[in-house]
Amino acid sequence: MIKNDWILLLLLVALASCQQEKEYYVFSTFREPADKGLFLAYSEDGYHWKDLGGPYLAPEVGQQKVMRDPSIVKGPDGTFHLVWTSSWRGDLGFGYASSKDLIHWSKEQFIPVMQDTSTVNVWAPELYYDNDSNRFIIVWASTIPFKFKKGIEDEKNNHRLYYTTTKDFKAFTKTKLFLDPGFSSIDGTIVKRRPEDYVLVFKDNTRPMRNLKVAFGKSPVGPWTDISAPFTPFLTEGPTVEKVGDDYLIYYDAYGEHKYGAVRTTDFKHFTNISDEIFLPKGHKHGTIFKASKKVVDQLVKEAAQ
């Protein structure tokens, strides 16, 4: 009898441990006209999303003080780091804040990553944690007129992707070019499949295209090669990628149709449209998908209900 009691106790402890370690998918987002701040949604299966409301953080930095394209990554110490587009035009950087619970946030900072340039804008900063080098990589799009050979885009819309890295969000490496595919590009998202096997999902922002493509590299900062044909329709942007089982789901903002779309892939070469299989709250706009513990999400649900 005593032996059975011990087995039952061990099973209960194991069950409690599993419950504590359970994680949900969380989706950072905003609401047009993007002046309210950070909104969130969560999902248990990666397909069906429940609204967590907001705003959890109101924008206070930048010339226009908006919060578009909120990108969140959880660091190795459990801290959530957030970056966002703070203005349509005129800013030489982006907004930054951090949180332990996604409810209480640090004082906002403005990170001036393009202060030494004549850039028109700093759009859609995207966070990626590089666990091989213990650093955060931040990728964004900027237009520097007359810097690149003029293609079919106006000089003030001829974007390229740039990046910086940091380990503490206090010191940042010198800004470098991240991707120049020979055409205007924005919205870069890094995906690690295996060591020395990375995928970049990004938007071809030229007027006839304005859709998503992928490229491949051996490092999270490139170089990026083998750029694909588009795998989403015209007028799509803001990709974010989550892994569900053996599948990668690429969510995107189908802004031309005022809805959200998604594709499923295992190899980033063959894509299945699963837009009819997903559900997102009304008004949801593009951000990033990350994971948070059940404890954090339960508190967010409680906060949203108040």
Spell out the per-residue pLDDT of the chain, length 306, in tens.
455 555 555 555 455 555 557 999 999 999 999 999 999 999 999 999 999 999 999 999 999 999 999 999 999 999 999 999 999 999 999 999 999 999 999 999 999 999 999 999 999 999 999 999 999 999 999 999 999 998 999 999 999 999 999 999 999 999 999 999 999 999 999 999 999 999 999 999 999 999 999 999 999 999 999 999 999 999 999 999 999 999 999 999 999 999 999 999 999 999 999 999 999 999 999 999 999 999 999 999 999 998
Domain annotation covers residue 19: no
Task: Give which of 295, 293, 304 is closest to 26, Cα–Cα.
Answer: 293
Domain annotation covers residue 254: yes
Domain annotation covers residue 80: yes
Domain annotation covers residue 84: yes
Task: Give which of 239, 294, 262 is closest to 42, Cα–Cα.
Answer: 294
Number of domains composing the chain:
1
Domain span at residue 141 reads: 24-305
Domain annotation covers residue 1: no
Domain annotation covers residue 8: no
Q: Is 172 exposed, middle or buried (0-12, 13-18, 19+ CB in 10 A)?
A: middle
Q: So what's the pLDDT on residue 1? A: 46
Domain annotation covers residue 4: no
Count of Cβ atoms closer than 10 Å to residue 36 Cβ? 16
**Residues 215 and 183 sit within 8 Å (Cβ to Cβ):** no
| 159 contact partners, CB below 8 Å, separation of at least 6 | 123, 141, 142, 143, 153, 184, 185, 186, 205
Count of Cβ atoms closer than 10 Å to residue 50 Cβ? 17
Structure token digits, residue 84: 């966002």
State which H helix or E strand residue 298 sits in. Answer: helix 294-305
Q: Kindly report the pTM of this predicted structure.
A: 0.93
Task: Give which of 26, 77, 92, 76 is closest to 56, Cα–Cα.
Answer: 26
Domain annotation covers residue 16: no
Residue 243 belongs to a domain with what CATH number? 2.115.10.20
| 85 contact partners, CB below 8 Å, separation of at least 6 | 66, 67, 68, 69, 94, 95, 122, 123, 124, 125
Q: So what's the pLDDT on residue 259? A: 97
Task: Compute the distance between CA of residue 53 and CA of residue 56 in angstroms, rounded to an integer.
Answer: 8
